[in-house]
Every structure is written in structure tokens, then in C-alpha cells.
Amino acid sequence: MGSKRYIEVAVNLPVFRTYTYLVPERLSRETTAGKRVAVPFGRRLETGYVLGEASLIDGCQIKAVEQVIDNTPLFPPSMTELFRWVADYYIHPIGETISAALPSGKLPVRDMDRPVAAGKIAAGDIPPELTTEQRAVVDDVVARLGSGFYPCLLAGVTGSGKTEIYMQIAGEVVRSGGTALVLVPEISLISQSEKRFVARFGDDVAVLHSGLTRTERWRNWMRILRGDAHVVIGTRSAVFAPLDSPGVIIVDEEHDTSYKQESGLRYNACDLAVVRAKLSGSVVMLGSATPSVQSLYNAKIKKFRKIYTLRRRINQMELPSIKVVDLRKREPRRGARALIGEELYTAMKETLEQGNQVMLFLNRRGFASLPVCASCGNTMKCSRCDITLTLHRRANAYRCHFCGFSLPATACCDNCGSSSIKQLGIGTEKVEEAVRQLFPDAVVARLDRDTTTRKGSMARILKDIEARRTDILVGTQMIAKGHDFPGITLIGVICADLSLNFPDFRAGERTFQLLAQVAGRAGRGMDPGRVVMQTYNPEHFSIVAATQQDIDSFYEREIAVRRQLRYPPFSRMVHLHISSTDFTKARERAREAGEACMALKDSEKEMFGAIEVLGPVEAPIYKLSNRYRWQILLKSSAASPLKSFVRRLLEESGARLKRGGVRLVVDVDPFFMM
Ligand code: ADP
Ligand code: ZN
Ligand code: ZN
């Protein structure tokens, strides 16, 4: 009889610790780290992930593994450390953390060995000669490869050749036998980046994003795990790609909010990219034309080792000239011209006459976002959310943009029954209609979440623009992201202010980034391009800085505000959401949660005294999908007491606060504060 063997298992249940199990002789060979096992837990069999070997703690009753589920491990053993870090930092159960990191659903049994595409894809594309600016960055970063953690920031105006830099660094890593992980924002960008990487690296590329089927995702996952693909490109969840130790991690458009997961495990993939690089001792490069305030700050305080700046566009293209139109000074006009003012109208006419293309941006979809009853003044609201409904004319329905609730467009006022509803407020659909009226001969297309629900529809819209079949494109922030269309020489911003008044400390930052990115879409071809920006706040520093593409002056103003109000990066925040379908329960439990916070603060003044407890208050959107929502914001100058505080709160009061189906959600480093 040899000595007994024990393993550490992360059970896929809402428990924060891991458990030790005995490996029976019959399963000894097949029990390895990274596989799933069935283990007795309480009175049931549960699934768990094998993290590694464990030693027996005396006096414990140890149960034995019942069954080994997988033939091969689902992640390399080196990733265990990352999972532990994530579970600890985001105060999330470790088993559920791993489960959230893996592709969803069961690993399909058959088919896994077939290559993803039929036949080999040739890596044909020849890298261009780098510009002096690009060369300097690539050389400097390549020199750091393989010698430990090196976090850096690449700030380069749109079109300055950042993607080419990513590809050359990745190429260098692959040539020396390593792997590269590249993260890009949500779906609208993935197709373009994917195309460029595949053209360069052929079938050495694996792709991970939400547009894949479950089987495709698992198949790519296993290819990465087996070492068949050395370059991984993907959206948020790809930060968990099963690479053993990536030589370089790149985050493109690092400021993009789609890196933040807003349900389940609420992680930030951009932050995790840095953490992962630190754990594996590799280079991590965050790139953007408009880096986040947090990242610029990290570069200033040398948490990031270097900030590389690209000031010139490839081919010496000029940045577009930007004309600001003050909407307050405009004469009131009706109909189509109420949306498109004199300057923008003239510029559109000129652009079309020259045979070029126009892009119009408005950060809200639908036709009318504020339907108001003409007889009693009541606004049409979602019956499940505290949100006004948006009329969608093409769909002939009112829709709630949060929960999907829908009413026919013929619906009457739910207060007085009147059928006379005024359609106030604007959306991309209304802009599209106005454009069709003003330019009846132009080919108009719209790109937003409503026109891209069907698979392939986005690709078709983009293709029509590329081939210049479309004259005018109307769209939401979907058009703001990295598309590269040389024919577009005019960008119109219908109303620059929509994101400015959100109850969120990042509203100014978002507005700046969005407008600067939109403006950067102009003049990607030989023409320098121009931008007409309509706004009610022409003096607001976010808008002024965006029109001048001046990130430094934006940063200086914004960081001063953050410092004064003690917002991140000068503090850490944890958001507690308390919600219930029962109005009274939500309110009562929020009150109890607030009291529990204060009691905990008082009980350990030394450790927790400096933590600010703001709330409980009703959430700005107090009802969402039939749930009444309350929130408590915890603020602290240091991360670690804050984390201990939340952990203690959950341990001591979690079960009590959640009784009767009340939901208590912890959001560390929150983004969406509504
Ligand atoms: P960014 O990612 O900063 O927006 P890109 O890498 O997409 O910039 O580059 C903009 C355009 O310039 C692309 O069409 C790209 O193929 C091209 N490009 C990039 N680097 C070079 C280079 N060194 N020589 C020629 N063309 C380049
Ligand atoms: Zn009414
Ligand atoms: Zn709703």
C-alpha cells in the first residue's frame, strides 16, 4: 500500500473555499489538475475542478472522488493561480469563477479534433515596412520580451498604425516559440481585427468571442490548450484563454467599456490582462487613441513602465478639422431640419456632390426616446422598469432598451387612455428618416443594435460602405469603433451631449472618448476629412478636448476633479446591489444591509473606520425587469481593507440579507452605476 493521495477541488457552488478529497486507487492515473470531477458534497454529487495536489489536514473526515469527468484537462495547471486571484479580488466563489471562465455548456465529446476551417489557411500577407515611430516602439517592446513583467501603454491617434505594431510584436513572440493573446472590444471590431490577424498568421490564430457557437468555441479552446494556435484573438472572456504562459498580452482600445462584465463574475478583462501578465511574468501592452484616465494615471505614477506615443497618422494624413455647432443658438426648426442644422446640411451636400460618404452619429437607437401623452403629459414607461419606452417605427412597437418589454405602436396612454401620443426625443431611426427626406437620392443605411440582430447583417452593412454602395451611414457608438473606411470624409455628430449627464463619475471620460473616436473615423483615406459636431454644451471641457483631440488637457482637468471628489484612481469602490421583486423587501433589506455596514465599521474602527458607506439609496433606475433596486457604494483609499470589509459582511450577514429571494450582488470596481 502506497501513501494516500489527496487533491484540492473547487466545487462549482456558491462557496468561497476549496475542499480536499481523497483519490481512490482506481482513479489515480486519470485524476489530474484541470479536469472536472464528481465529488460528494453534503448529500449530493457535485461537479468540481481539480486544482492540484493537497496534503491532509488532521482530524478531518475526507470523502473520496466519485468519478473523473474529463479525458483531458480543460485548462493548464498554471492558470490555477489566476483563478485564485480572480476569485479573491472579485469576492466570487472559486468554482463558479472557473466555470465562468470556461466556455459555457459541456465539452462536446466528438468532433473536437477536426480543424476549425476546412483545409489550411495560408498566412500570405507581407508585413509593411514600419515607420520610424512604429519601429521604435516595436524594437523597445521586443527587447523586453522574456525578461519579466512589463506593463506599458500605447497611446496613438486613430490610424497611427497601432494594430500593425501589435501584429509585429505578436509575430516576434511566435517566432521565438511563445504565444500571444490579443483582446479586442465587443463583436463589431472582432471581424476586422480577426481578418488582419488571420491574413498575417493563418491558421496559427484561434478566435474566441460570443459570436461563435458553443462547439466552435470549445474547439478553439482545445486547439489553444493543445498548443495548435499560438495567437489568440478574442473579446472580453478571451482573457481566460487556456494559454500556458502567454509571452505577450495586448489589449486594443483598452478604454472600451465592453471589457467590463456586468453579470455573474463581474470582472474587468483589461485589468485582468495586466494581472495575468504579472503572474506569468510577461509583457502587456494596452493600446488606445483615447486611453482611460486610470491607465494614464498608472503610466504617470510608473505602475505602467512606459507610455509610447504615436503622434502621426500613417501616410501623413491630417487629422480631420472639427466644427462645433452650438445648438442653443440655433433657430427652432421643425421636421428633418430640426435634427440636421444648416452647417451639417451644407457639409453633407458638398460631400455627396464630391462623391464621398457621410457618417452620422447619435448615441441612441430607435425613433423617439420620449413618448409623451398629448392630453395628460404622462410619459410612456416600461411596466417592468423605471425607464421610458422608445418607439421603433420599423418594428412598429415601443420597446424597453433594458428588458426588451414591448408594446404595439398603437398603444394608448396608460394613465388617461388617450391615443394621442407625441413622439419627443430622438434616436437613430428618426435621424435616418430625416436624412431620407433631405437627401432622397442618396443611399442611406443604419448601423445599430436593431439593424444587426441577424447573423451576417453587420458584415453586409459594413461591406456596402466599403464598396461605396452606401452614401450615408447613420449609427450609434457601433460606428465609432475601429472601422477604416477611406470614402468617409464627413462625420456629423447629431447631439454630442447624450452621454454627458449620466449619474456616473466616468460620464465626462466616456463623452470625451466617444467623440474623439467618432471624429477619428473621418479622413482615413487621402482626403483629410471633417467633422461637424452639434452640441448644447460647447464649453464643456470633455467636448472641447474632444474637438481638439487633446487628451492631455482632458486628462489634466479630469484628474483634478477625480482627486478633489476622491473618485478612482484616488479611491477604490465596491458597489452593493440589493434587489427584489417585492418593493418592501428590497427597501427593508437595503436598510438592514446599510445597518450591517455601519455596525461592522464601528466594530473594527482601526481597520474599517476609513471606509465610506454611501447609502443605501434607491438606484437611479429604481426598477429593472420587475426588480426593485437599491444600492450601497463603499469607498476607500486602499483596496485591501475594503475587500476584507465586504468579505466579512458577506460571511456575517450575507445569508440574512438574502433571505426570501432578495438578491445581493457585489460589484468590485464598478462601471455601470445606475
Ligand atoms: P490604428 O490601429 O492605430 O488605427 P492601423 O494599424 O489600423 O492603425 O493602421 C492604419 C492603416 O495604415 C491600416 O490600413 C494599416 O494597414 C496601414 N499601415 C499601418 N502601418 C503601416 C506601415 N508601416 N506602412 C504602410 N501602411 C501601414
Ligand atoms: Zn394620458
Ligand atoms: Zn423594461
At residue 67, what are phi and psi to the nearest 5 degrees?
Answer: -160, 145
Is the pLDDT at 560 greater than 70? The verdict is yes
Instruction: Provide the pLDDT for residue 262.
Output: 92
Q: Are 548 and 512 in contact (CB under 8 A)?
A: no
Chain centroid to CA 338: how far?
34
Which ligand 1 atom sits nearest the alpha carbon of residue 314? 12
Least confident of 112-116, 169-173, 338-342, 413-417: 112-116
Instruction: Provide the pLDDT for residue 108.
Output: 65
Q: Indicate the pTM of the whole model.
A: 0.90
Characterize the bridge pairing of strands 231-234 and 180-183: parallel
Q: Which range is most confident: 196-205, 278-287, 314-323?
A: 278-287
Evaluate: CB of 291 within 6 angstroms of ligand 1.
no
Spacing, Cα 621 to ligand 1 middle (Å): 42
Is the pLDDT at 105 greater than 80? The verdict is no
Instruction: Give percent of the chain with pLDDT exceeding 70.
Output: 94
Is the pLDDT at 501 greater than 80? The verdict is no
Closest Cα to residue 269, out of 241, 245, 239? Answer: 239
Evaluate: CB of 451 within 6 angstroms of ligand 1.
no
Question: What is the rounded distance in angstroms from the CA atom of residue 413 to the CA atom of residue 436?
Answer: 30
Architecture of domain 317-365+428-562: 3-Layer(aba) Sandwich (3.40)
Evaluate: CB of 158 within 6 angstroms of ligand 1.
yes
Cell of 369: 426616446
3-class SS of residue 428: helix
Which ligand 1 atom sits nearest the alpha carbon of residue 134? 23
Assign a CATH topology to domain 132-315. Answer: Rossmann fold (3.40.50)
Instruction: Provide the pLDDT for residue 649.
Output: 96
Within 10 angstroms of residue 283's Cβ, the number of other Cβ atoms is: 25
Question: What is the rounded distance in angstroms from the CA atom of residue 164 to the CA atom of residue 136?
Answer: 13
Contacts of 116 (CB under 8 A, 6+ apart): 203, 206, 216, 219, 220, 223
Spacing, Cα 419 to ligand 2 middle (Å): 8
* Ligand nearest the Cα atom of residue 484: 1
Sign of the dihedral through C-alpha 185, 191, 195, 198: positive
Question: What is the rounded distance in angstroms from the CA atom of residue 446 to the CA atom of residue 362?
Answer: 11
pLDDT bucket at 119, cuts 50 / 70 / 90:
very low
Q: Which range is most confident: 107-121, 180-194, 245-259, 416-430?
A: 245-259
Is the pLDDT at 214 greater than 80? The verdict is yes
* Ligand nearest the Cα atom of residue 420: 2
Instruction: Provide the pLDDT for residue 117.
Output: 46
Instruction: Provide the pLDDT for residue 41.
Output: 95
Which ligand 1 atom sits nearest the alpha carbon of residue 160? 3
Q: Are 585 and 660 in contact (CB under 8 A)?
A: yes
Instruction: Provide the pLDDT for residue 525.
Output: 63
Is the pLDDT at 442 greater than 60? The verdict is yes
Is it true that 5-103 and 317-365+428-562 share their CATH fold? no
Average pLDDT over residues 87-107: 91
Is the pLDDT at 405 greater than 70? The verdict is yes
Average pLDDT over residues 105-125: 57
Which ligand 1 atom sits nearest the alpha carbon of residue 196? 16
Instruction: Provide the pLDDT for residue 387.
Output: 79
CA angle, 223 as apex, 268 and 273 as ends, to 5°?
20
* Ligand nearest the Cα atom of residue 483: 1
Average pLDDT over residues 136-141: 98
**By alpha-carbon position, which residue is closest to atom 17 of ligand 1?**
161
Q: What is the mean pLDDT of the chain?
A: 90
Q: Output helix, strand, coil percentages for the chain, rounded to the nearest 5.
A: 35, 25, 40
Evaluate: CB of 521 within 6 angstroms of ligand 1.
no
Characterize the bridge pairing of strands 488-493 and 357-361: parallel
pLDDT bucket at 523, cuts 50 / 70 / 90:
low
| Domain spans in the chain, listed from the N-terminal domain onward | 5-103, 132-315, 317-365+428-562, 366-426, 572-668
Interhelix angle 94-101/80-89, rounded to 10 degrees, is 120
Evaluate: CB of 517 within 6 angstroms of ligand 1.
no
Evaluate: CB of 164 within 6 angstroms of ligand 1.
yes
Least confident of 174-188, 319-333, 384-398, 650-664: 319-333
**By alpha-carbon position, which residue is closest to atom 18 of ligand 1?**
161
Evaluate: CB of 160 within 6 angstroms of ligand 1.
yes
Mutate to test the pocket of ligand 1, among 129, 154, 163, 488 (most ligand atoms within 8 A of CB): 163
Is the pLDDT at 330 greater than 80? The verdict is no
Is the pLDDT at 95 greater than 60? The verdict is yes
Instruction: Provide the pLDDT for residue 547.
Output: 86
Average pLDDT over residues 93-116: 76
Characterize the bridge pairing of strands 36-41 and 19-23: unpaired
Architecture of domain 572-668: 2-Layer Sandwich (3.30)
**By alpha-carbon position, which residue is closest to atom 23 of ligand 1?**
130
* Ligand nearest the Cα atom of residue 381: 3
Architecture of domain 5-103: 3-Layer(aba) Sandwich (3.40)
Evaluate: CB of 151 within 6 angstroms of ligand 1.
no
Evaluate: CB of 489 within 6 angstroms of ligand 1.
no
Instruction: Provide the pLDDT for residue 403.
Output: 79
3-class SS of residue 185: coil
pLDDT tens across 261-318, in order? 999 999 999 999 999 999 999 999 999 999 999 999 999 999 999 999 998 877 666 7
* Ligand nearest the Cα atom of residue 417: 2
Is the pLDDT at 581 greater than 90? The verdict is yes
Evaluate: CB of 131 within 6 angstroms of ligand 1.
yes
pLDDT bucket at 118, cuts 50 / 70 / 90:
very low
Average pLDDT over residues 133-137: 96
Question: What is the rounded distance in angstroms from the CA atom of residue 535 to the CA atom of residue 518?
Answer: 14
Q: What is the distance in angstroms between the CA of the first residue and the CA of the last residue of the chain?
A: 61
Residue 543, classified by CB atoms within 10 Å of its CB into exposed (0-12), middle (13-18) or buried (19+), is buried
**By alpha-carbon position, which residue is closest to atom 24 of ligand 1?**
128
Interhelix angle 551-565/507-519, rounded to 10 degrees, is 170
Which ligand 1 atom sits nearest the alpha carbon of residue 157? 3
Instruction: Provide the pLDDT for residue 115.
Output: 47
Question: What is the rounded distance in angstroms from the CA atom of residue 579 to the CA atom of residue 66?
Answer: 38
**Alpha helix locations (H) across 124-213?**
132-144, 162-175, 190-201
Instruction: Give percent of the chain with pLDDT exceeding 90.
Output: 67
Evaluate: CB of 134 within 6 angstroms of ligand 1.
yes
Instruction: Provide the pLDDT for residue 21.
Output: 95
